Amino acid sequence: MVPIAWYLILAAILFSIGVCAFLIRRNVITVFMSIELMLNGVNLTFVAFAHMWHRIDGQIFVFFVMVVAAAEAAVGLAIIIALFRVRQTLNVDQINLLKD
Amino acid sequence: MELALFIIFGLLAVAGALNLLLQRHPINSALSLIVVMMSLAVLYWSLGAEFLAAAQVIVYSGAIMVLFVFVIMLLNAGEEDTTPASKFSKTASIAGFPGAAAIFCLLAFVFLSDRSALGTTRAGGYLSNAVNNIVDISHTLFTSLLLPFEVTSILILVAILGAVVLARKEP
């Protein structure tokens, strides 16, 4: 059987790669996808602990995280579309003024 | 056998995440994120969360990532420029790799220092005496957590309205 620490280490790897991609990438859609990667890493941690403690609460939390991530992805992508219509760019370095 | 599943799909998830980090075009990053989510669904199944594995495939990779791919197609996002333009993003690019490595080392230290207390996984993941995983989840979700469940339905409704209002064409 697999030690639970290995699942947690894998989730930590996914989370750190998400943090790295969030800081390094310049395209705003890729930054959003790195946020989803971080959320997935956290979900794996929750499910691993739910298995370890023999309780269902971890999986319920993952359910709610998935729902909130879906809502946030929809609204965030709508904001990106609106931003692209005004700025005509997807580079986060060039979206640096609040007004045009 | 669980060890083989974990190693294969764990390596696939890490490879997909590294591919998201290193690819230039956002559509390649989106497709590798789909690979990460599918392999995470297999890992949830091996941890006894069958309903969550199905929800991960249907909701995350079947709806959210499809939304990402549609937006990439709609905005015609090309390969990104690699030169960081402002001073803050230069600092962030330099601090990105060591910062992520520092976070990973901290988390790995915390998880590995309690390695014996965590234990190993058990075969067949029934968490309680319920028949299957979805009975277990729904028993808690529809009795003691009914209010958060209904509140999330209002949250989804508000998200739909917000997305429609934000993304429509100005007349």
> Which CATH architecture is the domain A4-94 placed in?
Orthogonal Bundle (1.10)
Q: What residues does each domain of chain A span?
A: 4-94
Burial label, B108 (beta-carbon count in 10 A; 0-12, 13-18, 19+): middle
Query: Is residue A53 predicted with pLDDT exceeding 70?
Result: yes
- Cβ(B34)–Cβ(A35) under 8 Å? no
Interface of B with A in 109-128 (CB under 8 A): 111-112, 114-115, 118-123, 125, 127-128
- Cβ(B36)–Cβ(B13) under 8 Å? yes
pTM: 0.91
**Distance separating alpha carbons of residues A47 and B104, to the nearest angstrom:** 19
Query: Helices A28-53 and B65-75 sit at what angle, rounded to 10 degrees?
Result: 180
**Cβ–Cβ below 8 Å for B20 and A12:** no
Residue B124 is predicted with a pLDDT of 58
Residue B94 is predicted with a pLDDT of 80
- Name which of A39, A50, A21, A24 is nearest B125 in CA terms: A50
**Cβ–Cβ below 8 Å for B122 and A47:** no
Tokens coding B17 = 């995440």
Q: Contacts of residue A77 in chain B, CB cutoff 8 Å?
A: 67-68, 71, 163, 167
DSSP B24: S
Residue B153 is predicted with a pLDDT of 94
Stretch A40-60: mean pLDDT, rounded?
Answer: 91
3-state SS class at A91: strand
Residue bearing the bigger pLDDT, B113 or A20: A20
Nearest CB to A91 within list B3, B80, B163: B80
Q: Is A84 on the interface with B (CB under 8 A)?
A: yes
Residue B30 is predicted with a pLDDT of 95
> From A67, which residue of chain B is nearest by alpha-carbon distance?
B152
CA-based angle B32:A15:A53, to the nearest 5?
Answer: 115
- Cβ(B14)–Cβ(B43) under 8 Å? no
Specify the CATH number for B1-78; select among 1.20.120.1200, 1.10.3720.10, 3.40.1180.10, 3.40.50.300. Answer: 1.20.120.1200
Q: Contacts of residue B2 in chain A, CB cutoff 8 Å?
A: 1-2
Long-range residue pairs from B114-118, CB within 8 A, at least 24 positions apart, any chain: B114/A5, B115/A3, B115/A5, B118/A3, B118/A4, B118/A5, B118/A8, B118/A52
**Cβ–Cβ below 8 Å for A73 and B68:** yes
- Name which of B35, B32, B55, B30 is nearest B44 in CA terms: B55
Q: Contacts of residue B14 in chain A, CB cutoff 8 Å?
A: 10, 13-14, 17
**Distance separating alpha carbons of residues B168 and A13, to the nearest angstrom:** 38
Residue A63 is predicted with a pLDDT of 94
Instruction: Quick: pLDDT tens for A60-82.
Output: 999 999 999 999 999 999 999 99
Q: What residues does each domain of chain B span?
A: 1-78, 129-171
Q: Which mean pLDDT values do the consecutive 10-residue runs of chain B (171 residues) have? A: 90 96 92 96 91 94 94 85 70 82 87 77 60 83 91 95 89 71
Average pLDDT, chain A: 91
